[in-house]
Structure 1
């Protein structure tokens, strides 16, 4: 399928993923407009109990003041026998700034609680369009501050704090990390950004390539950013915390892992973000998975390319936590 606006053909899908992709028809936000947000919000997701299953992991809910003092929820996921300070992983969920909840993708947190004895905190930030910028990123920052302040009680090693998110959660994780740097807030040990949503301008080659195909396309991306920013989207009146791709100084960031698919909207902005970290003298590891679509490693975890991507991510975490 060829992009008719700029004549740009999208990269091919990995054959195994191409076979799987039709199964997501109707559930994947393709050509999503604002009036369809509620439709996609209503699609059922696995509960945290389903994601924990029979593993000896617990999930405990807390309430804390978010942006401007409004209460938000966080959940703490840890091994039931967690008894000494371990790494803290702060999770920000995806959903295009408008969908999903704090338990989306929580299976990774359950796995890391078991493998690394990590204490994982996942935040229920308020979503756009009902709660536009700066509410979502400020809620995320408030949750990170709470996690740090309660590190001793939660048995978290405050010198091993990692921010983790995918898609919109990847963009919010990057924005939260920039806030922590600029406000001299919690000192972060790492940030893990999966297929991050970083650039409201939506003018990259990969954005134009991915129209009407894949899992999250250019139209859906415009809808998500407009929900967050309103008529500020694409103007000069957008902060680096809302759209981290706009940052001109990426110095002073913790070690960063970024991965992205070759056949997705976010490819070029993710590559540019890693390049900007390197240009600032920072530490970043970048993976571009050829033939993959957005969110492939969660949506098709048994595909060969997904297993490779998850192994690379866990290898980075292991190396980071061994320092």
Structure 2
């Protein structure tokens, strides 16, 4: 039985359509510039009803010391005054793709559903900007968010950090940096199917080779580009952290047909052992980011509902 046979049938159709148009998936396109362009050209931004209820503003803010400025997009419910909880969003893309625009539907829904101020960060990508550019940009954006909390109407006592895939790994790295540098307090951490281990040694990292969305070859390549020849430390690959204590309460979810399954299970176990309150959900039949690719599937609706419930509880 192949890995594709294990995919939720309702979520598989859109994946098969993608593979017909791009055989092997986006990671099969060798040139990274072309890969990004093809991905962007095929990106269909769904009409989000919440758009009419959310105001958005793009800003340029200070990056890491001695480094270029970075972009952030700030979201706020249009009809709500006063101080609101905050969600700091870090987009995915394997450290080599993705942007704030691609994450816009998710950020908009989070803002509207949770009545929260959302700040989405545009960090530099590898291979042009290898580690540590990504996590340092994300941490700089968090510092800016905390410093401007009053202006943004954001309650710093109710601040979550959210990200999927590479964004999940960067969310963990950002939380580790905040812990180790005595930075802003984070109330809640939501790394979704996070990319956390550069070693590619787990059973699932060997098993997922032909699904067409973030298979082994693409993951190995992305880590090589991201590290740029450097040895990974805990801020590059949070699975390497010797000490996970002191991190905020954490929610992790991952699918059974996701290359990151085993490294994420191990991460959740280590967080619990370190005394970090950790909620883990494993969704049978879900492949990497399937809830984004097949949002109307019953499985996808269950994934989103579970996440939103966890965020509501954490930020109440």
TM-score (norm. length: structure 2): 0.93
State the aligned residue count: 311
Partners of 1:28 and 1:215 within 8 A in 2 = no
Query: 1:21-36 alignment to 2 at 5 Å?
Result: 21-25=15-19, 26=21, 30=25, 32=27, 35-36=30-31
Contact 2:94–2:165 (Cα < 8 Å) also in 1: yes
Residue in 2 that maps onto 1:305: 299
Structure 2 residue 62 is matched with structure 1 residue 55: no
The structure-2 alpha-carbon separation of the partners of 1:302 and 1:238, relative to structure 1 and needing over 3 Å to count, comes to same
Within 5 Å, give how 1:160-309 maps onto structure 2.
160-232=158-230, 237-309=231-303
Q: Which residue of 1 aligns with 2:67?
A: 69
Deviates more, 1:288-297 or 1:34-43: 34-43
1:281-301 CA deviation, whole Å, 9 max, x = no partner?
A: 110101111111100111111
Structure 2: runs of 5+ lacking an equivalent: none
Sort the Cα spacing of 1:150 and 1:289 in 2 relative to 1 into closer, same or farther, 3 A.
Answer: same
Residues 102/28 of structure 1: CA separation in 2 closer, same or farther (3 Å cut): farther
CA contact (8 A) 2:93 2:167 kept: yes
Which residue of 1 is the match for residue 110 of structure 2?
A: 112
Question: Is the 8 Å Cα contact of residues 46 and 104 (structure 1) preserved in structure 2?
Answer: no
Report SS of the residue matched to 2:98: coil
RMSD: 2.0
How many angstroms apart in 2 are the aligned matches of 1:262 and 1:59?
35
The CA deviation at 1:75 is: 0.7
Inter-CA distance 29–51: structure 2 relative to 1 (3 Å threshold): farther
Instruction: Name which of 294, 298, 315 aligns with 2:309.
Output: 315
Say whether 1:150 aligns with 2:148. Answer: yes
Deviates more, 1:15-24 or 1:310-319: 15-24
Shift of 1:207: 0.6
Residue 78 of structure 1 aligns to a residue whose secondary structure is: strand
Q: Give the superposition deviation at 1:239.
A: 1.2
Structure 1 alignment gaps of length 5 or more: 3-8
TM-score, normalised via structure 1 length? 0.91
Change (3 A) 1:91 1:27: farther
- Is contact 1:164–1:173 with CA below 8 Å preserved after alignment? yes
